[in-house]
Amino acid sequence: MQPQWEVADVLRKVDLSHQHFTIHQEKTLRALTLCRTAALGGHVDACDTCGNISISYNSCRNRHCPKCQGHKREEWIQAREQDLLPCSYYHLVFTLPDTLNGLELSHPKIVYKILFDAVWATLNQFGKTEGLQLGMIAILHTWGQNLSLHPHLHCIVPGGGIDANGKWKRKIKTDKYLFAVKALSKVFRAKFVEALRKESLGDAQLFNVLFEKNWVVYAKRPFGGPKQVIEYLGRYTHKVAISNHRIKNVTEAEVTLNYKDYKDSSKTKQLTLKNEEFTRRFSLHILPKRFVRIRHYGILSSSWKRGKLQQLQQKLNVLRPTSEPKTQHRKCYCCKVGNLITLHVFGQRGPPEKYPIGSTIKAVN
């Protein structure tokens, strides 16, 4: 079911040029307002079964757009299905304290890179204490339910690894949790603060405050199996700060959205914000240009996937799923059976008048 309201509806009610956005943020926000509108052009299609003629406007394809992530998510999930190993998979979340919000706003590219590096260095160190080379998929999220700045890394870690002799070891310790979260949090904090020092970000006072805080590392029990891993990946990998379905009303001045209050038993509540404030909060989660928000490490890294991972899967008798060839056919929105055939491609001026949209033509044999 299509949502009644979209993020773009809110952004269109705000004069973006009069807000304090960077050029990259403003460009991104404008792209979202133009997504699937005549401004980006489109194409006229006809169904080869029912003959219905319809118009489709082009997508902005921006990674921050709630409407443009579906096909990217499916393609990415199919690729990850090829990499599964016969072991338990664990979900860990590493969160930065709000003390760092100022640095995250002024130096997002550096701080977020340090976050990735510190998390992998932590897990890699724990793996080596068990004599194993681990792997990790890490996904950066920067938002809380109310669109506040809340950077955290979702990590998917196989519960096995490669020992010093190059042999696969399926279990590290237990089926319950990968490593003790209190120990993980202390090492993670130390590695992150050390990296800040090397980058000359912060001062002694900030570092003292950071060490006084208990950093949050959340560890879930392992997934039930490969299907659960893939389902999780599908939910989290290509999320944006807020989905259109959470927006419940938009007026000329305000927007109302649903959110989960995790401090109150995860109850669903509503929050009303001025359109300008919603836009400001949304802009906090526009990542730096070309910043990679999904990264692979260890035995799941790109270097391993060039051959070593396939060899390991063969030794373990893992059958890699065969991916179905991509089809260029798009199903008809009207009859849901026929394939759409493009009759005409147009630019910003819109579709030509000779194609009466909503009419039908004789079905193509």
Reported as a single tens digit per residue, the pLDDT across 189-231 is 999 999 999 999 999 999 999 999 999 999 887 887 777 887 7
**Residue reference for tokens 């068990």:** 130
Gap between the Cα atoms of 75 and 67, Å rounded: 16
Give, for 78, the enclosing helix (H) or strand (E).
Answer: helix 70-81
218 in a structural domain:
yes
Task: Note whether residue 153 is domain-resident.
Answer: yes
Q: Which residues contact 17 (CB under 8 A, 6 or more apart)?
A: 26
In one-letter notation, the amino acid at residue 240 is V
Confidence of residue 124 (pLDDT cuts 50, 70, 90): very high
Other CB atoms within a 10 A radius of the CB of residue 266 amount to: 9
Interior angle at CA 237, CA 130 and CA 199, nearest 5 = 65
Q: Work out how many domains the chain is built from and give that number.
A: 1
Within-domain flag for 251: no
Determine, yes or no, domain membership for 338: no
Domain assignment present for 116? yes
| HSE toward the beta carbon, residue 213, CA cutoff 13 A | 19
What is residue 330's DSSP assignment?
Answer: -
Q: At what angle do helices 226-236 and 70-81 cross, to 10 degrees?
A: 150
For residue 108, the one-letter residue type is P
Tell me the sheet residues that pair with 141: 152
Q: pLDDT tens digits, residue range 139-194?
A: 999 999 999 999 999 999 998 899 999 999 987 666 677 899 999 999 999 999 99
CA 365 to CA 363: how far, in whole Å? 6
Please tell me which residue, 286 or 87, carries the higher pLDDT value: 286
Give pLDDT, residue 87.
Answer: 87
What local confidence, expressed as pLDDT, does residue 365 receive?
A: 33
pTM exceeds 0.85 for this model: yes
Residue 38 covered by a domain: no
Please state, as a whole number, how many other Cβ atoms lie within 10 Å of the Cβ of residue 153.
24
Give the percent of the chain with pLDDT over 70: 92
Is 146 inside any structural domain?
yes
103 in any annotated domain: yes
The confidence score (pLDDT) of residue 364 equals 40
Distance from C-alpha of 90 to C-alpha of 184, rounded to nearest angstrom? 14
Residues 6+ apart with CB under 8 A from 20: none
For residue 116, the enclosing domain spans 74-241+292-315
The Cα-based distances of 348 to 28, 45, 46, 67, 313 in angstroms read 19, 17, 20, 20, 50
Q: What single-letter DSSP state applies at residue 154?
A: E
